[in-house]
Amino acid sequence: MNFHKADEFTRRELMIKMAKSAFGISLAPMFGNSVASAADFVPNRPRAAKSVIFLMMAGGMSHLDTWDVKPGNATVMGKTKAIDTTAAGIQISENLPKSAKQLQHMVLMNGMSTTQGAHEQGQYLLERSYTMRGTIVHPAMGSWVMRLAGKRNNNIPGFVSISGDPNLVNGGFMGAKFAGVPIGDPNAGLQDSIKPGSISEDDFTKRLKLADALNKQFHTVVSSSAIRDHEGLYSDALRIMHSEDLKAFDLTKEPTEIKEFYGPSRFAQGCLLARRLVEHGVRFIQVTHGGWDTHYDNFTTVPARCKDLDDGFSALLADLHRRGMLEETLVVVATEFGRTPEIVSEHEDGRDHYPKAFSCVLAGGGIKGGRTYGKTDASGSKVVENLTTPQDFNATIAHSLGLPVEQVVISPSGRPFTVADKGKAITSLFA
Amino acid sequence: MKVLSTTAGLLLAAAATAPAAVNFRTQVWPVLAKNCVECHRAPYKDNAGKMIEPKGRLRLDGAGGIMKGGNEGESVVAGDPDKSPLYQRILLPIDHEDAMPPKGKGKPLSFNDSELIKEWIIDGADFGDWKGSDAGAPVAAKAAPKTADPLAAGATIAPEAAKQKISSLGALVTPIVKDSPLLRIEWVSGAGAIGDKEVVELAAVAGNISELDLSGTKITDEALTTVAKFPRLTWLKLNGTAVTDAGVAKLKGLVNLNYLNLHSTNVSDTSLTTLTGLRKLRQVYLWKTRVTPGEAAKFAKSIPDLRVALE
Amino acid sequence: MIRATFTLLLRTACLGTAVLCLTGTVSAQLAKKTTDPDNDPVFIKKAASEIDRRLANDFKKKNVTPLPAVDDSRWMRRLYLDAAGRIPTYEEAITFLNDTAPDKREKLVDTLLKSEGYTGSMYNYYLDLLRATSRLGSDGTRSGVPYLRWIRESAASNKPYDKLTYELLTTEGDGWEEGKGAVGYFERDRGMPLDNMANTTRIFLGTHIECAQCHDHPYDKWKQLDFYEMSAFTHGLETGHRDELSKHANEKYNGKNAEQDRLRRDLYRWLYDNIYDFGVTGGGDGIIKLPMDFKGKGGKPEEAVRAKSIYPGAGNTRREEINDARMKFAKWVINPQNPRFTLLIANRMWKKVMGIGLFEPVDKFVEVSKENPAGTVISNPEVMTYLEQLMKEVNYDLRTFQKVLFNSRAYALGTNPGSVDPKMPYAFNGRAVRRMKAEQVWDSMAALVVPNIDYRKGGSLSPAAAVYGQVIGQSAYAIYEELKKGKDPKDTANRIREMNAWVDKTAAQLKSGGGKKSDDSMMMMESSMTAAGDSKASAMQDPAKWAGYSKAFLRSYELPSPTPPDHFLRKFGQSSREVIEGGSTDSDVTQVLSLINGHVEKNIIGDSKALIYKAINDAATPEDKVRAAFITILSRQPTPAEMDLMLPEAKKGRDGIKNILYALLNSNEFIFIL
């Protein structure tokens, strides 16, 4: 399995395609096959995870006030207190009491460290495993998963982003067909997924046929990859519309008691939607919860952000577990960097960006829980054991899914890339 | 018409003005072969038996190696000779520490040769059909350490036709892991249309089925008669179906079963009597069933390392 | 190779004289221009020709042929989208296409550049560039309205770019005072002054220095010390604004009714957060302490360093300039001798008009150095040099600058028939096809429904804002004025009763700040405050001409920044305003679902009052109806084949017409700009 030049267009190929369309070769992609492929993917490890739920804490989640508490060190802990968990010898912050009861499923990755201390660059590196450059956009993690493992369910999107910035989950050089599908409000579901009653079936078909004809003519004038991508999405859209599996996006189909089990916040409902999507074979679901950039007033804001995280995350783990889904679903809690151990009193006790040491969490997906991996010093300032980069982290996610971590994909500009750049999967985390 | 001729005209114009593209095989490769490959090739044992690695871990004896680069990063950026060390370094003065070939290891490339490489890069670094040393390609996925799966012993590869038939029922049929004859069968979509009749079709690959997901289907205990005949079954999902204790009783011969999911079914403590005989069980899911906590706890203790989830 | 050397020489030449050029007052730099290039057609023509001449030379050198110029239809559609942010209406299109005057193109450029649509486009452009938002703070509790108002006024008055930049970097005082909204530039990054400096360096100087905040840059020449020396220019700024009102926010009321007191306190708190706590003081210390964990070369942790620019010319601050450092810095930034300032804005405007920059990305210019032997490639250095000269000649008047570009032959060249990778140098021998930006899609569709859409102001009222508007009856400015003058509402019984009634209805919504309803009321309130500030009118009511049209149909520049995550604009890639120029024109399946099942059918085709139907209803024959549809949506006449295709539908009546409109709106030609 060496080169992958499958879908990329070299300039030469483009000229050939142009010539073809100039000669009026029929292009009716609106009714044709979807461009997204469902690879016959076989994992390279047994009982590999089938899906990933990636909970993105955007803004830089303070590690000391969440997962990496230092109970003996009041100077760096400020107002935050530590509590016991269901894992012997492990304590976390009082801000996450429900999660503390689910520790047996988790590994706390307390040795995270990144080189990027700015939001845009930090999120880029976390999302895409490469540092941001001006010359190329690397694909998002979910795009890699789509590319290497394909969809499990051809009728609905395989990569979904709930409540996050759509720009963060674009396909980079892999193009729009590998991008995450953005959902704003989980309760609104997949908007516009049903043909409006004001259009009859006949007219609906008629309209798209007319548009198709117009496009055929347009192709003789100009044909770019952006146009082809755009057009290809029409068949994806039609497929989704006619799929029974659309109900995956419909939270009203969940019993009230389950909705209450997760909690009322948008994030918690997003976690519930993520579980439903996994049940319908969606491979990669990212749910974003923002507001973690606590330069100001850290000790009021962090508990507030933690409440929703705690509700959603703990409910998700419990729900996946009791449904027997946790082994095959990897749940990730990640953030782009941590926050300073030093508390800035002039900013109403704030904490600034701190890339050198921070925490993420892995659960399910074959992970053996109830422990930590990676350690910081007594003040949470330096990683002293098992330093984990975002690339290592992503390689571990890939390993959980049984993906070929070293498989090379060549970009349209001819450069080779892998899913986690030079990251090394931490295989000791798995059962 | 008008549009056609414009486009065709463009193509002609492009062809007329562009110089003929550099051919890697006939023009560039000889240059590399002569000047570079001696040091930048596959690892080899020298006369003393010592393994010699390619310099800078950069292999230039294959298309893969050239594009992958080495310790110091990429050697070629398609379309951009200014960013391609392969070209930049052969231009450097002989005394420069980064010059290629290094001083003493070979003569600097002639102007013609370096221009060829430059033009080749500008044209997009296309190898045409040349691959060179295939082993120079980036390392393929390291196969997971092959622990011989005892369960697979004796299993033959399932016939394509049989797998196709099952796929046509809407099932996703995949090997459980790379290179394994054992299969996983599930209905990610359309489970609601599957019933006892369809399950009978699975018997065609009875010896291969290791993982089976029948959750959310319309099966009854009847289907479990068929399922009971899958000797290599290790993972079975029956949640959200109409199976009962009577059906579970049929599974008493599935000695390899280590995961069983019965949440949201009508089973009761009675089923535990059957299950306690399956000594390889490690995970059993019983949320939203009629199983009582007391009995569940007893059951969990009855098999070593068994985890039972009631909620 | 030669290109890069030439560029380097030019830069060096500039730098040599930089030191001398810092004499002269700022006012001299910002003085009124002595000539009036904007209204001088000869000047415009000459400048445009010069660009074309230099491009033609380049075509020869590169051995490329310029593509044949586009016809009126295509040119007109391009211009409307690039200058006014939307497609032309049926009337506008017909007028232009039927005009036989030989100078009709120049006239249209003039007209559009003076339109509200142009102002709005520039406003949107600045919002993206500056990440300006309607609400500030990580929890969005503070109002950013004065900042948006200032940006809008700057766009409307065509404020020269150097003046705009200077004001952004140096404004001091209370943000709600007239003309001081620019303090929003620092308020946007409150608590993150170092990030703010990194943004400044990126936007105005084209250097990505943010990596050097924590360590010496891994692959560029910037050191961590450089970063802190730059930050020293604006260090010590204080954001927020202490005022009389603050003591009311924390006051303990001893009134008879505890609930009433609490509500009043909430009101003051809200007013404080939204009106009073918005300002900037301090001139910039010019000196900064390196952080505790500083590890770069050339400095020690906690060492105090003086401000120093990463570009020669601004020099270190002298002792007496402490507390005035940011003025000094700003003066240097906008100095015409600054090798970056003019270069960046000239390239940005080129990209705005032509679609691709002469170098990309437009906010990053890397000089040749040991770490970067290649440096940034400028696809046409001769044109770039001329553009820098032109920008200075027009005294940074961006409208005039764009006018020159719109009048060039380069702008009228045919469309390149294939993909153009904007990351590779481009010859500009043709136009690269681009998908419409989110704002262009939304605004074009809005123009199909609502007449005179450019002038329709935001200000539809939610119940909360209605109460606010009715009861208070004034704009935010007026309230502010009243309270500032010392009029204490505690003494005005009526006032108290009214305010409490309002607070009664809205305090819960304002405090929760998280639910959908609250978002709506916030959004509406912002719109109402913006509009109120503009017109100083009391109640916000839709003038009659827009009665009956959905209130959702406003142009993008009348909506909050950014719009809520579920809004059409966000779906189609509008920037969330979290990162600089963070918008995207990538397509995804939720956009297509909106085009086939959502917005198009429900709000455009489904609206029988939509403007789109006027021309069609006026058309007598089915053939004319087809023509009207094509002109309205694609700005051109149908081809004979297309007429054959659509005529049967047109003959069917209303349903058939809808089919035609829907097909046109879902065609690639609608959303991709040729």
- At C385, the pLDDT band (50, 70, 90 cuts) reads very high
Work out the burial of residue C5: count CB atoms within 10 Å of its CB; fewer than 13 is exposed, 13-18 middle, 19 or more buried.
exposed
Choose the closest CB to B3 out of A11, A220, A404.
Answer: A220
Q: Among all residues of chain B, which has the CA nearest to that of C1?
A: B82
Helices (H) and strands (E) in chain C, counts: 31, 9
Peptide bond into C361 cis (omega under 30): yes
Interface probe for B, chosen from C63, C419, C424, C426 (most Cβ of B below 10 Å), is C63
> CB–CB of A311/A102 below 8 Å?
no
Distance from the Cα of C374 to chain B's closest Cα (Å) equals 6
Of B2, B165, B133, B163, the residue nearest B60 (C-alpha): B133
Is B294 among the domain residues?
yes
Show residues of chain B in contact with C424, CB under 8 Å: 79
Choose the closest CB to C63 out of B6, B17, B80.
Answer: B17
Whether C641 and chain B come into contact, CB under 8 Å, resolves to no
Whether A229 and chain C come into contact, CB under 8 Å, resolves to yes
- At B89, the pLDDT band (50, 70, 90 cuts) reads confident
Answer yes or no: is pLDDT of C207 > 70: yes
Please identify among residues 421-460 of chain C the ones whose CB lies closer than 8 Å to any CB of chain B: 424
Return the ∠ at Cα C11 (arms to C10 and C17), rounded to 5°.
100
Instruction: Say how many CB pairs under 8 Å bridge A and C.
Output: 218
Whether B10 and chain C come into contact, CB under 8 Å, resolves to yes
Say what percent of chain B tops pLDDT 70: 87
Of A309, B199, A132, the residue nearest C580 (C-alpha): A132
CB distance C63–B79 less than 8 Å?
A: no
- Least trusted range by pLDDT, from B39-48, C31-40, C73-82, C315-324: C315-324
Predicted pLDDT of residue C347:
97
The verdict on B194 and B45 lying in the same domain is no
Is B143 among the domain residues?
no
Show residues of chain C in contact with B7, CB under 8 Å: 417
CB distance A218–C667 less than 8 Å?
A: yes
- Report residue C282 as tokens: 């301090």
Chains adjacent to B (≥3 CB pairs closer than 8 angstroms) = A, C
Answer yes or no: is pLDDT of C38 > 50: yes
Average pLDDT over residues A337-361: 93
- Least trusted range by pLDDT, from A238-247, B17-26, B91-100, C447-456: B17-26
Domain ranges of chain C: 2-13+587-673
Work out the burial of residue A362: count CB atoms within 10 Å of its CB; fewer than 13 is exposed, 13-18 middle, 19 or more buried.
buried
Show residues of chain A in contact with B261, CB under 8 Å: 323-324
Choose the closest CB to A295 out of C192, C582, C669.
Answer: C192
- Report residue C624 as tokens: 């004319």
Helix (H) or strand (E) holding C320: none
Domain ranges of chain A: 33-189+250-429, 190-237
Q: How many residues does chain B have?
A: 311
Contacts of A205 (CB under 8 A, 6+ apart): none
- Amino acid identity of residue C616, one-letter, is I
Work out the burial of residue A3: count CB atoms within 10 Å of its CB; fewer than 13 is exposed, 13-18 middle, 19 or more buried.
middle
CB distance A233–C587 less than 8 Å?
A: yes
Q: Where are the alpha helices (DSSP H) in C424-512?
A: 438-449, 463-467, 476-484, 493-512
What C13-18 contacts at long range (C-beta under 8 Å, 24+ apart), as own/partner pairs, is C14/C337, C14/C339, C15/C311, C15/C312, C15/C313, C15/C339, C17/C337, C18/C312, C18/C313, C18/C335, C18/C337, C18/C338, C18/C339
- Least trusted range by pLDDT, from A294-303, C153-162, C560-569: C560-569
User: What mean pLDDT is reported for chain B?
Assistant: 84
User: What mean pLDDT is reported for chain A?
Assistant: 87
Predicted pLDDT of residue A3:
20
For residue B77, what are the domain limits?
21-122
- CATH number belonging to domain A33-189+250-429: 3.40.720.10
Kindly report the number of other CB atoms within 10 A of residue A98's CB atom: 18
Q: What is the gyration radius of the CA atoms in chain A, in angstroms?
A: 23
Give a three-class secondary structure readout of C95-130.
HHHHCCCCCHHHHHHHHHHCCHHHHHHHHHHHHHHH
Phi, psi of A332 (to 5 degrees): -120, 135
Peptide bond into C562 cis (omega under 30): yes
Predicted pLDDT of residue C264:
57
Helix (H) or strand (E) holding C288: strand C287-289
Answer yes or no: is pLDDT of B197 > 90: yes
CB distance A182–C571 less than 8 Å?
A: yes
The verdict on B88 and B160 lying in the same domain is no
Phi, psi of A362 (to 5 degrees): -125, 140
The verdict on B67 and B187 lying in the same domain is no
Whether A303 and chain C come into contact, CB under 8 Å, resolves to no
Of A87, A51, A105, the residue nearest A363 (C-alpha): A105
> CB–CB of C438/C574 below 8 Å?
yes
Return the ∠ at Cα A334 (arms to A358 and A403), rounded to 5°.
120
- Report residue B146 as tokens: 């092959």
Distance CA C30, CA C18 (A): 18
pTM (predicted TM-score):
0.73
Which is higher by pLDDT, C193 or B180?
B180
Instruction: Give the Å distances, CA to CA, from C190 to A209, C236, C513.
Output: 53, 12, 20
Q: Among all residues of chain B, which has the CA nearest to that of C68?
A: B6
Q: Among all residues of chain C, which has the CA nearest to that of A120?
A: C579
> CB–CB of C204/C167 below 8 Å?
no
Q: Give pLDDT tens digits for B278-305.
A: 999 999 999 999 999 999 999 999 999 9
Is B13 among the domain residues?
no
Q: Give pLDDT tens digits for A128-185.
A: 999 876 557 789 999 999 999 999 998 889 999 999 887 788 888 887 778 888 888 8
Q: Give pLDDT tens digits for C77-127.
A: 999 999 999 999 999 999 999 999 999 999 999 999 999 999 999 999 999
CB distance B189–A402 less than 8 Å?
A: no
Show residues of chain B in contact with C377, CB under 8 Å: 82
Residue environment code for C254-263, b if the CB has 16+ CB neighbours within 10 A, otherwise e: eeeeeebbeb
CB distance C373–B17 less than 8 Å?
A: no
Distance CA B252, CA B269 (A): 15
Work out the burial of residue B47: count CB atoms within 10 Å of its CB; fewer than 13 is exposed, 13-18 middle, 19 or more buried.
exposed
DSSP state letters, B173-233: EEESSTT-S-EEEE-SS-GGG--HHHHHHGGGGTTTEEEEE-TTS---HHHHHHHTT-TT-
CB distance C591–A233 less than 8 Å?
A: yes
Q: Give pLDDT tens digits for A140-153.
A: 999 999 999 999 99
Distance CA C547, CA C527 (A): 18
Predicted pLDDT of residue A16:
34
Choose the closest CB to A322 out of B139, B144, B311.
Answer: B311
> CB–CB of B266/B289 below 8 Å?
yes
CB distance C668–A214 less than 8 Å?
A: yes
Say what percent of chain C tops pLDDT 70: 72
Contacts of A357 (CB under 8 A, 6+ apart): A63, A68, A111, A112, A113, A338, A376, A380, A381, A382, A383
Contacts of A96 (CB under 8 A, 6+ apart): A66, A67, A306, A309, A310, A314
- Amino acid identity of residue A426, one-letter, is I
Distance from the Cα of B223 to chain C's closest Cα (Å) equals 39
- Report residue A330 as tokens: 């990897």
The verdict on B112 and B182 lying in the same domain is no
How many structural domains does chain B have? Answer: 2
CB distance A134–C208 less than 8 Å?
A: yes
Whether A1 and chain C come into contact, CB under 8 Å, resolves to no
Show residues of chain C in contact with A15, CB under 8 Å: 418
CATH code, domain carrying B228: 3.80.10.10
Distance CA A97, CA A106 (A): 14
Distance CA A219, CA B158 (A): 46
- At C243, the pLDDT band (50, 70, 90 cuts) reads low
Average pLDDT over residues C284-308: 83
Answer yes or no: is pLDDT of B239 > 90: yes
Answer yes or no: is pLDDT of C439 > 90: yes
Predicted pLDDT of residue A411:
75
Whether B17 and chain C come into contact, CB under 8 Å, resolves to yes
Show residues of chain A in contact with B127, CB under 8 Å: none
CB distance C424–B83 less than 8 Å?
A: no
CB distance C417–B7 less than 8 Å?
A: yes
Distance from the Cα of B10 to chain C's closest Cα (Å) equals 9
Is B299 among the domain residues?
yes
Q: Where are the alpha helices (DSSP H) in B18-92?
A: 29-35, 63-68, 85-91
Work out the burial of residue A8: count CB atoms within 10 Å of its CB; fewer than 13 is exposed, 13-18 middle, 19 or more buried.
middle
